[in-house]
Amino acid sequence: GSTTLVLGLEDLAYPLAVELCYRVFDDADVLERWARIANTGDTPVVLRQALSANLWMPREPSWRLRYLQGGWGSENQITETVLRPGRFILESRRGTTSHQTSPWFALDRRGEATEEHGDVFSGSLAWSGSWKIVLETTPGGRVHASGGLNDFDAPIVLRPGTDVVLPVMACLYSNGGHGGSSRAWHASQLSHVLSRSARDGRSPSFPGTNGPRRPESARAVSLAVADASTAGDPAGTAQPSYPPLRPVLYNSWEATWFSVDEPGQTRLAELAAEMGVELFVVDDGWFTGRRDDHAALGDWVVDTEKFPDGLAPLVATVKGLGMGFGIWVEPEMTTPDSDLYRAHPDWVLHFANRNRTERRNQLVLNLARDDVAGWVFATLDRLLTEHEIEFVKWDMNRHLSEPGWPAETGHNPERVWLDYTRNLYAVLDGLRAAHPDVDIESCSGGGGRIDLGMLSRTEQVWTSDNTDALDRIAIQEGFSQAWPAQAMMAWVTDSPNPLTRRRLPLSFRFHVAMAGSLGIGGDLAEWSHEERTEARDLVALYKKIRPTVQHGRLYRLASTRQGPLGAVEYLGPGGYDVVVIAFSGPRPLRPWPSRIRLAGLDEAATYRDCDSGAETSGAVLTHLGLELPTALDATSMLVRLERL
C-alpha cells in the first residue's frame, strides 16, 4: 500500500493555491513528490517556472554527482563530476526525454560511495517532455537538487479556476552504495511503476500532469490520504508481486529493414518459432508507400503490394506457430510525402514564417492539438481492433525543433511543450484502457524516451539502436543504474554487427542480451543450421533464468569501466536461484582475475552449479569467488547456481 500526504498552501499576496503532495510506500524506499498549482482568482496567472521537488542534501564539504548521458547509439553512459559552487543543469529542451541525458541523478557524499557501500541520494522524474534537474551548490556551500518541467520557452498560463499538476519527482536514499540504490529503484518500478503493476490495481500510473491522482480538496492543514491501493490491505502487508515475465521476442528490423513482405516475414517467423521465440514483431515498412524513410508516415494502412491479403494471413501463421504478433508504429510523425500531410499540412508543429525542418525526412505532428491526439488514438484503436495484435513498438525518431502552433498565436502557444506530453499520455492511457491485453514498448530511435512516465504506461523499452554486444555492456550498465532488467529489451543481432561491423561469437551476443529482456533481431535466414541450433539452446537457457533475471535483485560484480571484466549477478526471489553473467572485450594484456566474488549469498548455505553439479559453500563464493574462464577475445560465461 501507499500513503499520500497533501499539504495545502495559499499565497498570501496572490490568489494562488498550492498542494504539495508526498507519497510513500510500505514496500518501496521511494518517496514521490509532486504539486498542484491552482489559480483561485479571476485574472490569469502566468507560471514562469515551477519545479516538482527540491532536495537539500546534508551539509558536507563536497558531493559527487553521477548522471547518465550519451547520444543516439550510445545512451546512458555513466558520468561523474564533483559539484562546485554554481549550478549544474541536466536537461532536455527537445520536447521529449532525449538520448542525450536521462532524467535521473545520484549524489554521494565526498565521492565516497562504492558499488555496495555508502550513502546515495537519487532522484528520477516521471516526465517524457522537456525536463530539467538543477544541482546547485550555494555560496554557503549547501547542495540541493531540484527537478521538474523545463521552463525554457514554456510559460504556463493558468486561467481563472484552472490548475496544473506538476510531474512526480521520485526520490530515494540508500546506504547500500550505487548497487543498493539501483536495486531499490528496480524493486519500486517492478512493484509500482511498470504498466502491468499499475494495471493490476496496485498503483495508479503517474499523473500526466493533470492526472487522476489529484487530491480532491486542498485545505490549509496537512492531512494523510490513504490511496485506493491500500483498500484491500489496510496494514500494507502484501508481498510485492511483480509484473508477468516478458516473452522472448523476434524483431524484423535488422533482418529486412524496410523490405518487409508476407513471404519474407513468414520465413523469419518459422525460423524464430523453431528457436523458441514467443512474440514475433514486424518492424517499420509494413504500411502503404513505406519503401524507405522518405515517405508514408501517417498513412497507417497495410501495404497490399507487400501483404496482398492484408496482415491477417501473417498473423494467422504467427499464431499457428505458437507466437504472439506485434507491430511497429511511429504515431507522432508524418512525412511531407504522405496522404496525411497532404490533407493536413497544418497538423505539424511549425511556425508560419519559417521552414519546416525535417529530420529523417519527417515532421512532428502537433500532438498538443486535441484533434490530432484524437486522430492518433482513433487510428491506433482501429489498427488494434482490426488485427489480432498483442504488442506495439511505439517509436519516435526525431525531436521537436520548431515548436510552433500558429493557430494559437496570442493564446499561449508555448503550452505545446506541456500539452504535447499530456496528450501523449492521454492517448497511451486511452489505448491501455481500450486494449488492456496489448503490451507496449517505448522506443525513440533506441533509448530516447526512457523515464518513469513512460515506464508507467508500457511494459518495456528499446534500449538502444546500437545492438553491438560489446557496446551494449556499457549502455546496459548505465541503464541498470535507474531501470530494471525486465524493462530492458536486448536483441541478439548479426555478426558482423550492421552498425559497428564488429564480429562477436553468438554465445557472447546472447549472454549480453540475456542480462535483460531477451530478443532476437538478426537475419535468421542467413544464420547457419549450427547457429540456429545454438540459438535455440540459448533461448531455452534464457527461459530457465528469466524469473531470476527479470524479478531478481541485480548485483553489478565488476564493471568494464574499471577493468577488462564486466559481471552481473541476479539473485532470484527468496535467494534460491543465482545467475552470474561475465564478459570481457578484447583479450586483456593486464592480468585477468581468475575468480569473481559473488554477493548477497547465504554464507552458511551450499550452492550447486546447475550444469556441472559442483557444490560450493556460500562463504567460498562470497570470499574466494566463482572461477572464471581464461580471457580470450570476447570471452563470456553464464553460470546458474541453486541454493540447496
Q: How far is the CB of 382 from ligand DGJ (least distance, A)?
A: 21
Is 253 near ligand DGJ (CB under 6 A)? yes
Separation CA 202–CA 497 (nearest Å): 41
Please give the biggest Cα pair distance in the chain: 76
Cβ 448 to ligand DGJ shortest distance, Å: 8
Grid cell digits, residue 48: 514562469
Interface with ligand DGJ, residue 328, by CB under 6 A: yes
Stretch that binds ligand DGJ, among 77-85, 414-422, 442-450, 618-626 (CB under 6 A): 442-450
Interaction pattern, residues 50-89, with ligand DGJ; x per rule: CB under 6 A:
----------------------------------------
Q: Does 91 bind ligand DGJ (CB under 6 A)?
A: no
Is 439 tagged catalytic?
A: no
Task: Single out the residue of 516, 517, 531 nearest to residue 473, CA to CA.
Answer: 516
Please tell me the distance from the alpha carbon of residue 358 to that of residue 266, in angstroms, as a whole number: 34
Stretch binding ligand DGJ (CB under 6 A), from 94-102, 137-145, 215-223, 441-449: 441-449
Q: DSSP readout, 223-261? A: EEEE-GGGTT-TT--PPP-PPPPPPPEEE-HHHHTT---
Q: Which three cell numbers stand for residue 180?
A: 543498493
Q: How far is the CB of 446 from ligand DGJ (least distance, A)?
A: 5
Q: Which is nearer to ligand DGJ, 154 or 329 (CB)?
A: 329
Q: Smallest Cα–Cα separation from 66: which of 596, 471, 559?
A: 559
Residue 303 within binding range of ligand DGJ, rule CB under 6 A:
no
Which of 455, 456, 554, 449 lies closest to 181 in space, CA to CA?
554
Q: For residue 87, what are the β-bridge partners?
A: 136
The residue from 163, 465, 569, 577 that contacts ligand DGJ (CB under 6 A) is: 465
Instruction: Pick one of 445, 453, 498, 585: the residue that binds ligand DGJ (CB under 6 A).
Output: 445
CB of 30 to ligand DGJ, least distance (A): 29
- Cβ burial 17-56 (10 Å sphere, 16+ → b, else e): bbbbbbbebbbbbbbbbbbbbbbbeeeebebeeebbbebe
What's the min distance (Å) between Cβ of 403 and ligand DGJ? 22
Is 484 an interacting residue with respect to ligand DGJ (CB under 6 A)? no
CA-CA distance, 492 to 484, in Å (whole number)?
19
Can you tell me which of 284, 451, 468, 577 binds ligand DGJ, judged by CB under 6 A?
284
Q: Is 462 in the site for ligand DGJ (CB under 6 A)?
A: yes
Q: How many positions of this chain bind ligand DGJ (CB under 6 A)?
A: 11
> What letter does residue 116 receive in the DSSP assignment?
S
Nearer to ligand DGJ, 284 or 451 (CB): 284
> Residues 283, 284, 465, 577: which is the catalytic one?
465
Identify which of residues 185 and 328 has a Cβ nearer to ligand DGJ in the complex: 328
DSSP assignment string, 447-510: BSS-SHHHHTT-SEEE--S---HHHHHHHHHHHHHHS-GGGEEEEE--SS-TTT-----HHHHH
- Specify which residues 6 forms β-bridges with: 21, 223
Binding span for ligand DGJ by CB under 6 A among 44-52, 85-93, 439-447, 511-519: 439-447
Q: Does 332 bind ligand DGJ (CB under 6 A)?
A: no
DSSP, res 269: H
Between residue 264 and residue 283, which ones bind ligand DGJ under the rule CB under 6 A?
A: 283
Least gap, CB of 271 to ligand DGJ (angstroms): 19
The rounded distance, in Å, linking the Cα atoms of 42 and 16 is 11
Comparing CB distances to ligand DGJ, the nearer of 462 and 542 is: 462
Count Cβ atoms below 10 Å from residue 637 Cβ, excluding itself: 18
| Nearer to ligand DGJ (CB atom), residue 73 or residue 552 | 73
Q: Is 300 in the site for ligand DGJ (CB under 6 A)?
A: no
Residue 381 appears among annotated catalytic residues: no
Near ligand DGJ in 381-400, by CB under 6 A: 395, 397
* Closer to ligand DGJ by Cβ: residue 443 or 580: 443
298 within 8 A of 333, measured Cβ to Cβ: yes
- The residues annotated as belonging to the active site are 395, 465
Binding site for ligand DGJ (CB under 6 A): 253, 283-284, 328, 395, 397, 443, 445-446, 462, 465
